[in-house]
Structure 1
Amino acid sequence: MLTIITPFSCQNKNSYLYERMKKFIDTSFISEDIKRIIVDFNSNPLISKKLKDRAAISGIEYIELERYGELFSIGKCRNQGAKLAKSEYIMFQDVDLFSSVSIYESILDRLREREYFNDVELIPCLYLTKEFCQEFDEVDNSSFEAKIKKAYLENDSSIIEMYAPSSSCLLINRKFYLCSGGVSEEFIGHGYEDFDLHIRLCEQANKFYRTHDFGSDEYSYDSLEYRGYRPYLSMFGRQLMNDGIYFCHHWHPKSVGSDYQKRNKINKEIFSRRISEYKKSIFNCKPLVDLSAENSILLVDKSKDYKEISQLIPFLGNCEVQELGNFTDENDFIDYVKCKKIKTVYSYLKTSDWGAGLRTNDAIIYHIRESSLSNALVIDGDLNPHESLTFNSHEWSYEIDESKRFEIGDYIFSVLEEIKKPISIPNENNNHIYVGDINTKSLSFESILDFIEVRYPSISTVYINQAFEFDADYSFKIKTLDASDLTLMLTAEVIINNNDKENLIALMANKLVVTTEDKYYSVTGLSENLLNFINNDEYVIAGFDASVRDSLFYYLVNSVCSFYEHSIVDGDKKKILKNINIPQKINVKLSWRNKPYPVNSRYYDFFRHYFESKRAIKK
């Protein structure tokens, strides 16, 4: 369920960090639901070996990045740990932070009750004094929990040096963290990397309203004014403190003169630039990949083309993005797949180049394309759904129970209501036939009109969504349309159409459709092939069957399509996925919080006086 990630770097065995890490390893809580990863950036190899052996005894994974000669980057450590973790949730805990077992159990209880994929919590921290920590280290510290709680409530400065309502202890869904891009590696050394990450994540969490003067650095965590980014971030930890969930910070000397600390000023300048973008809701960060999964590749026309589906990346495995133009031809690409031992290829190509018909025996290939259902993607092994095993009627032509019919009925109703908003039903008699996109190579317009003349003698008008010339006279009027007309389609007595998007809408509206080619929905009760009528005068069309329709759409919605909402990010349209379906591979639902708690809720009580005074000024 939860992996706790701890960054680390130590060059000298005489450093307090070495002793602190030994104690951290020996005393850290792990269980069936809590795993730990220590990410060592560039410690002295002898130190790393001793600590790695010690961690193995305690059941803690110890990762060495071996970035020798580089300035310590806590962000790279955290990101690497997140990419390697296998759990649903992750949390960051520095080596100088500790807590009781009961608090870890409370954290697990909290995660089990989580509802939203984009939820973010920042665990509060109590910074203990040097004197108390010296006393604390000399005895059994289990007896000190009550004493620390009492000191917090009484604001006892002899024990608690500082209280931070939110800290670097981020508690988050791992995939959401990967989607966000994690800690920006633009920050090196100490300072502001946490503020940058937390603001980016908290803004996407949609949990609390932004503070006034959002980018201001002037307001502290304990400010009673709802202004600046620190009071905003404090909202993501205050409730945890109320619930008794917090960490304690063990006092240690500050290395103000180190190169690590000297980066603080530079990092602040980077942060100031970035937060000015965040005030405009610009969060343009590349997603992180999932290193715990198999190797995969996303093939795109151009790198910028995949931005709109960037949220998919962490769900596609250890996925690298490559442009089609980086390979000379199909054979060059297949050699690359073999060399990299890539197991899955995801193709998001909009061109008809060689990549569209890509085939290789060394990897499974999925094509990412827009679905015929609105606001949905299909990720499937075949570009043509009518030839795909995923869409074959054997997969969905079975009776579904009443609860599922109600569920899909709500979906169909909502789609039709949205479609009907901008259109109006004409006043004229709807005794007409609608002819949409058809394949005139297999069947001419004249053949279709002749068929209508014989089979539907009472029809008054035929609307055709294509211009064409004809010589024969018919008993009905023929009107050509410049574009598709959903009003005419939804009110037609008969629909003759090969357009999948329009046909699915028609099926939702209880309209049986007639096509001139075989479709995956060409089954009795939903769709008929016009060739069956023309080749057999005695062929009788079956009536529309709503139960078959419900089975089809339940399958498409729940097992095939990945639905999304659009969001504008840095001027680019981005798809916010509500679920991800990859047949035979992934089926996950992502519940997003999209509206903050109201200001009159108890969550904002710490700032209640500020809001009341603002309201009084307005009056």
Structure 2
Amino acid sequence: YLIEDNKDKIEKFSTGTSVTIWRKDHYLCTGGNDPEFEAWGFEDLEYTCRAFRRNRKFPLPSDAQLDYSNFSSIQEYKGWKSIYRLFGDITFKKGMVMFHAWHPIEHNSNYIQGKSENKKKFEKKIADFAKTGKEPEALKMISSGKSIIFRNNPWVYNKWTSPFFGELILLDECDFDGIDIIKYIENNQIDRVIFHNPYSSEKMHSIYNVIRGNLIPYYVCERGALPDSVFIDSNGFNYDSSSYHPQNWDLPLTEQQRKDCLKYIINEKNSQKYLELQPEKITPYSLKNTLHLNPLDKILFIPLQRPTDTVIQHFCGPIGSYENFISLIEELVEALPSSWKVVIKKHPLENSAPDIPGAYYANNFNITSLIEASNAILLINSGVGVTGLIHEKPVFVAGNAFYNHSGLCKSVTTATELINSIGNFKPCQEKVIRFIKYLSQDFYSFANFKTRLVDWTDGSKMTATTAIDYYILRVPNFEEMVLERSTAPKIQTSSILFDRYRNQGGIIRTGAPKKTPSTSNLPQEHKQNQNKSSIEQKNIIRKRKFKKLIETPGKFFRDSRHGIFKILGKVIK
């Protein structure tokens, strides 16, 4: 009936339908239908317009915010309807059709009369989203119940994670002085507690211990040891978590898992992403030359940590303290064979490092350059140890580290222990691959971070994370969510989907712009579309003028704006 244009059977047809299917958790994370809409219309269109801007499946049309033409007859790639209908065109070309049963519409009802007001809200909201990318707050996942959070930073209060935590209740840990938190949880039917750093204060640590001791479900959300990584852990924090125990990762790999992990390792070796800001990378030869080392010298690289870090304050383990570790370094400088040199790098956020005579300081060198140039690495429990494993270096651990397992690292607390092992210990590459596979493919989430340096209470600097935009999200007990972050459209205008927008010359019709705004305020893709349209129009004008010159040269010159050509036109017929 549609193909036959039978109006008795088919009232209207459109591939710009509001009938859409979404992955539920993703829909909740991205704010769903904006609750500011009331009565009939546009809340579904507004969400989809946000979605296609995030998705970047197609290039944006000209005047993308414009309500132009209609879904059924639009012939120019202009306004939001022109891109909106392309998604429906795909399913229609696959023979997937939804039929909407006809029913009468009461146009004078209060519900329908809200349409004009909603249309104004819709136009404003899609224009604002194009400028700012800001979406409504994430919607809670009702089935996840209630969660307590003690901070509202992006680690625990984030649009990509908050739906999984259900209804969030923000509390101050100091409110529980003399109050039984277990009774509070029972009385308020709390399902879990969300921590950022459960060791950040004595009060927070005590609450953490009470929660764990009473088997109350919880998550700890903090930065991982790989670039861009975040852990959302239901078993603890860092070294105290059972998530890193070998039974979770020391398992045979499939061929595909091994292939994917080796690809990840190669990419990380060549990556320019770091946990902290780093100088430019240089070759091992250049590094040794700059430090005035002999090319044959062996390097024991020691990345110093911050004495105030949580992992130093609570997980020093066998070495006992930061001061004891410094004493170990001083002893190693004297005791190591002459072919070995101790190279130290202070933590990037520390203002100074302990003065150890005989050691070489590489504070202004890239961390990856130092790892590549080293023959062994010694640390307390820094995340640099994981990077060392990726680079196939022997890693010696003096404290308690989550990655310090048999076959991966070697525990040492004395100079004698290290000297006896430094020449013969090598990590088991199979175990390294299994461990990195577990972190990268199973356990860690990955995100892009926005950070800034802030002053800390002791006068030093710290890196504060202001926003976390996940591209791989792994929340325990939920399905993994992979979020595409395309820098360019996945389907170009050469696709047959764009045939309805082409003129006879094969050029996409973009229509005259609604107005001529300053291009400095336009999105880059919009500028490109506008520039492309301008070039196309100029080419058309040139072709017309050339044709006029060939076919009617006299008229061509007489119509010129230049006087000398007008005179020439009177002579030429």
Query: Taking structure 2 as the reference length, what is the TM-score of the superposition?
Result: 0.71
Matching residue within 441, 446, 454 for 2:335: 454
Instruction: Indicate the residue corresponding to 1:485 in structure 2.
Output: 367
Instruction: Indicate the residue corresponding to 2:482 in structure 1.
Output: 590
CA 1:524–1:301 in 2, change beyond 3 Å: closer, same or farther? closer
Instruction: Indicate the residue corresponding to 2:564 in structure 1.
Output: none
- The answer to whether the aligner puts 1:340 opposite 2:340 as a matched pair is no
Quote the Cα distance in structure 2 between the aligned partners of 1:539 and 1:460.
Answer: 16
Instruction: Indicate the residue corresponding to 1:287 in structure 2.
Output: 138
**Structure with greater proportional strand content:** 1
Q: Is the 8 A contact 1:300 1:349 kept in 2?
A: no
CA 1:531–1:254 in 2, change beyond 3 Å: closer, same or farther? same
CA 1:457–1:525 in 2, change beyond 3 Å: closer, same or farther? farther
Instruction: Indicate the residue corresponding to 1:124 in structure 2.
Output: none
Instruction: Indicate the residue corresponding to 2:220 in structure 1.
Output: 367
Q: Which has the higher contact order (CA 8 A, sep 6+)?
A: 2
Q: CA deviation at 1:566?
A: 5.2
CA 1:533–1:467 in 2, change beyond 3 Å: closer, same or farther? closer
Long gaps (5+) in structure 2: 274-278, 306-315, 347-351, 452-464, 510-532, 540-573
Q: CA deviation at 1:523?
A: 3.2
Quote the Cα distance in structure 1 between the aligned partners of 2:272 and 2:75.
Answer: 48
Q: CA deviation at 1:280?
A: 2.0
Instruction: Name the Cα RMSD after superposition.
Output: 3.2
More displaced 10-residue stretch of structure 1: 166-175 or 368-377? 166-175
Instruction: Indicate the residue corresponding to 1:575 in structure 2.
Output: 469
Q: CA deviation at 1:378?
A: 0.8
CA 1:168–1:398 in 2, change beyond 3 Å: closer, same or farther? closer
Matching residue within 131, 138, 163 for 1:314: 163
Quote the Cα distance in structure 2 between the aligned partners of 1:352 and 1:412.
Answer: 36
Q: CA deviation at 1:204?
A: 2.4
Which letter maps to 2:411? N
CA 1:562–1:461 in 2, change beyond 3 Å: closer, same or farther? closer
Q: CA deviation at 1:514?
A: 1.6
Aligned residues: 457
Q: CA deviation at 1:162?
A: 1.9
Instruction: Indicate the residue corresponding to 1:232 in structure 2.
Output: 83
Which letter maps to 2:162? I
Q: CA deviation at 1:560?
A: 1.7
Instruction: Indicate the residue corresponding to 1:328 in structure 2.
Output: 175
Q: Is the 8 A contact 1:435 1:495 kept in 2?
A: yes
Q: Show the 5 A alignment for 1:309-458.
A: 309-316=158-165, 319-325=166-172, 328-329=175-176, 331=179, 333-348=181-196, 352=201, 354-356=203-205, 357-358=207-208, 359-360=210-211, 361=214, 363-381=216-234, 383-419=236-272, 422-425=280-283, 426-427=285-286, 428=289, 429=294, 431=297, 432-437=299-304, 441=322, 443-458=324-339
Percentage of matched positions with identical amino acids: 18
Matching residue within 58, 67, 70 for 1:220: 70
Instruction: Indicate the residue corresponding to 2:147 in structure 1.
Output: 297
Instruction: Indicate the residue corresponding to 1:139 in structure 2.
Output: none
Q: CA deviation at 1:478?
A: 3.3
Q: Is the 8 A contact 1:299 1:349 kept in 2?
A: no
Q: Is the 8 A contact 2:447 2:470 kept in 1?
A: yes
Q: Is the 8 A contact 1:301 1:349 kept in 2?
A: no
Q: CA deviation at 1:244?
A: 2.7
- The answer to whether the aligner puts 1:617 opposite 2:537 as a matched pair is yes
- The answer to whether the aligner puts 1:167 opposite 2:17 as a matched pair is yes
Listed one character per residue, the Cα deviations across residues 278-329 of structure 1 (whole Å, up to 9, x for unaligned) are 22251422222222x342415141377755x31123334xx11222339712
Q: CA deviation at 1:225?
A: 0.7
- The answer to whether the aligner puts 1:497 opposite 2:379 as a matched pair is yes
Instruction: Indicate the residue corresponding to 1:558 in structure 2.
Output: 441
Quote the Cα distance in structure 2 between the aligned partners of 1:273 and 1:254.
Answer: 27
Quote the Cα distance in structure 2 between the aligned partners of 1:188 and 1:600.
Answer: 40
CA 1:539–1:160 in 2, change beyond 3 Å: closer, same or farther? closer
Instruction: Indicate the residue corresponding to 1:209 in structure 2.
Output: 59
Q: Secondary structure at the match of 1:379?
A: strand
CA 1:567–1:242 in 2, change beyond 3 Å: closer, same or farther? farther
Q: CA deviation at 1:591?
A: 5.7
CA 1:402–1:394 in 2, change beyond 3 Å: closer, same or farther? same
Instruction: Indicate the residue corresponding to 1:138 in structure 2.
Output: none
Instruction: Indicate the residue corresponding to 2:558 in structure 1.
Output: none
